[in-house]
């Protein structure tokens, strides 16, 4: 999962380090050629992740943040597989997600959006892929929120994904969007990926088979780590 071959990255699949329409990248994106740095042993030799390291409700965001009741919003099941470029399942991958609540608000001091905080929803969870590369989260469908990039800018509804392989140097980050969201065509982050087909790989698909009848809709989102069908990753 590590990206040592920086110059060989497919820049039609992944967004550039600096995308002018996404204004904060002009401050944080590197302006000079990158210099690959050899990873130390401590970065490359951490213990493998396993199910034994997870707590019971780590992957259920409708439970892990409860204080005195249930979180407010539409319950959903998000599931899929993590695959390599040859469609081989990747087991033992630590997935972490974070998201806004149903009103479009994060529990974070930096989020001062004028929307209610849900005291029973933390907005974060984690799980480890099984031997077939599968993962599953139960959560609340997030809301859109303003983000100040330009006049009347609103982020499409989305869930952030972080993936760790067998070392701390192999972290990848991406976002999962929802089908049919009209804000996608207006979003500079989503549109920073040059290739239209690559963008579509960040959009989940509705799955009536993976949801729970009368309780939660299901959405499927496979993540491909490399190759021609790779899921676009944030820099």
Kindly list the catalytic residues. Answer: 106, 145, 155, 158, 160
Residue 218 is encoded by which pair of tokens? 């299901």
Determine the Cα–Cα distance for residues 105 and 87; give it in Å rounded to an integer.
36
Number of residues assigned to the chain: 235
Neighbour-count burial of 219, counting CB atoms closer than 10 A to its CB (0-12 exposed, 13-18 middle, 19+ buried): buried
Please report the beta strands in 84-234, taking only residues with DSSP state E, as ranges in sequence order: 94-98, 124-128, 134-140, 145-146, 154-155, 158-164, 172-177, 205-212, 216-220, 223-224
């Amino acid at each position: 999962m590590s990206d040592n071959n920086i110059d060989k990255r497919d820049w039609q699949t992944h967004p550039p380090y600096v995308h002018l329409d996404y204004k904060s990248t002009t401050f944080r994106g590197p302006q000079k050629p990158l210099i690959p740095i050899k990873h130390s042993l401590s970065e490359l030799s951490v213990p493998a992740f396993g199910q034994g390291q997870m707590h019971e409700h780590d992957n259920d965001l409708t439970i892990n943040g409860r204080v005195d009741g249930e979180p407010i919003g539409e319950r959903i099941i998000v599931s899929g597989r993590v695959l390599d470029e040859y469609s081989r399942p990747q087991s033992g991958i630590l997935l972490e997600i974070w998201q806004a609540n149903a009103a479009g608000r994060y529990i974070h001091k930096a989020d001062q959006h004028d929307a209610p905080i849900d005291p029973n929803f933390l907005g974060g969870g984690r799980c480890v892929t099984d031997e077939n590369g599968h993962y599953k989260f139960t959560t609340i469908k997030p809301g859109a929120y303003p983000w100040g990039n330009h006049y009347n800018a609103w982020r499409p509804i989305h869930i952030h994904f972080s993936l760790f392989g067998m070392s701390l140097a192999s972290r990848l980050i991406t976002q999962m969007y929802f089908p049919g969201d009209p804000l996608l065509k207006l979003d500079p982050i989503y549109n920073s990926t040059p290739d239209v087909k690559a963008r579509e790989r960040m959009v989940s698909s509705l799955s009536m088979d993976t949801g729970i009848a009368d309780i939660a809709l299901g959405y499927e989102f496979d993540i491909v780590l490399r190759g021609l069908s790779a899921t676009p990753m944030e820099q």
